Homo-oligomer: A and B are copies of this chain.
């Protein structure tokens, strides 16, 4: 139940981030909906395809489609108000990332993959919806050149795998790992942390 609700919170917040990206590009309603959709389910879809779990999740369960349709309609109707929700949206988004990461790790465990591949699948699940969104919007994916986003996912995924080996109740493992993802992201944004700069000048291009 908690799981299902937070999963859909993640879908909602990712879909909204897709709507915002699409509006910036002046796409029409259909374009806005498609970008919202791929942002919300793209990471999980790539994960399922790499694993061979097909038909992919959202084809088998209409709740994703309906959630995204309702989100897009509401986001378009109230888009002037979205800026007042910035903090809530950021929080939803961060919870979504945390949850998506753990879902991906779990799928890797189920498929008997190595620890490093479980972490990889968690990161793909959380990050690659945004990669598809940016690629379709004709931008270099934002997570390739800004924000400690993937780092938070990787840390949470590693923590989850480690905690699972300890005699800790499953719920605690789950919550602690999500808290790690959220904390790293919040701290990074709050204090402007970034990955070590590999360019001396510090100037960034590609936008």
Residues of A within 8 A of B (CB): 22-23, 25-32, 34-35, 45, 49-52, 54-56, 59-60, 62, 65, 76, 111, 113-114, 116-117, 120-121, 131, 135-141, 143-146, 150-151, 194-199, 203-206
Supply 30 A–B pairs (Cβ within 8 Å), ascending by A: A25-B205, A25-B206, A26-B145, A26-B206, A27-B206, A28-B145, A29-B196, A29-B198, A30-B195, A31-B141, A31-B143, A31-B144, A32-B198, A35-B144, A45-B50, A50-B54, A50-B59, A51-B59, A52-B52, A52-B55, A55-B113, A62-B114, A62-B117, A65-B116, A76-B198, A135-B138, A136-B140, A136-B144, A137-B206, A138-B139
* Residues of B close to A120: CB separation below 8 A: 59, 65
Which among B26, B28, B59, B137 is the interface contact of A195 at CB below 8 angstroms? B28
Q: How far is the CB of A179 from chain B (nearest CB, A)?
A: 22
Number of copies: 3
- The distance from the CB of A65 to the nearest CB of chain B, in whole angstroms, is 6
List, in ascending order, chain B residues with CB within 8 A of A204's CB.
26
